[in-house]
Amino acid sequence: MSKPEPGPRTVLITGAGEGLGYETARLLVAGNHHVVVHGRTADQADYAVERLVKDGTDPLRLDVAVADFTDFRQVATMAHLVGEAHRRLDLLVNNAAVAGPETRELTVDGHEVTWQVNYLAPYLLTTMLTGPLANARRGRVVNVSSPLHARANLEPADLAETRRYLRHAAYARSKLALTMFTKALTLYGPTSLTAVSVHPGILDTALLGTYSEIGLHPSEGAHVVAQLCTQATVINGGYYNDRALPYRPAACVEDLGAVQRLWKASAHQTGMG
């Protein structure tokens, strides 16, 4: 178990321009935290901040960060700028995600889009921010996962998914990798860092099509994510369901050999090792 720092904290939320990320930002900034709002574009991030300020948020408690996760250079630049602006980062919420295209597409870095946006980019961002997270002494990473992760398989020899591409399968495997990354952070991250993954529920966002045709308002899921961000203690490396309760993840999440192999492959794919 680990407890976060008391009092207001500095929080970076990816994909905070809309949907679950925006609603989570709204809740955390209302809790007197300083929130860094990430958007894929500057216009998206700025518009989110404008909406928050219009709702009564003190603009001095908001910052913006911009990066298109299909480009590692933008992610690295964003991590550098956030680290320069915030020597201490108490909380990182890896929320940004895409459902993926109908047919296989590659990013400028040569990776399948869903794999890079939903997993490799969060891996790169998190590892580049371990310094500021460690400076918080009790920093926390919250990875937004999905129960679909339990239906996925990772083939170490074909992480690029060149043999066969199915949109829903690509999404599921990206969430499996992110959930395994949560466990990996307990092994390879700073000793002071706590990491959890959480399924926020089936929500009416751009990702709804991967689950169902009906979903709850994103604010419902935001309460779940915000609870995992702020509650006094969490299980380090734990996976939580849409009621913010510990839940058993896919078996390979607990397979430390598989976690280690994924960590090494991710470091290679992102140029971090």
State the catalytic residues.
171
Identify the bridge partners of residue 38 per DSSP, sorted by sequence position.
65
Nearest to 210 by CA among 123, 141, 122, 151: 151
Angle at 48 between CA 139 and CA 40, to 5 degrees: 75
Nearest to 228 by CA among 131, 122, 92: 92
CA distance 177 to 192: 22
DSSP 45-59: HHHHHHHHHHTT--G
Identify the bridge partners of residue 144 per DSSP, sorted by sequence position.
198
Sign of torsion, CA 116 117 120 124?
positive
CA distance 96 to 147: 17
| 140-144: strand order across its sheet | 62-66, 34-39, 10-13, 91-94, 140-144, 194-198, 239-240
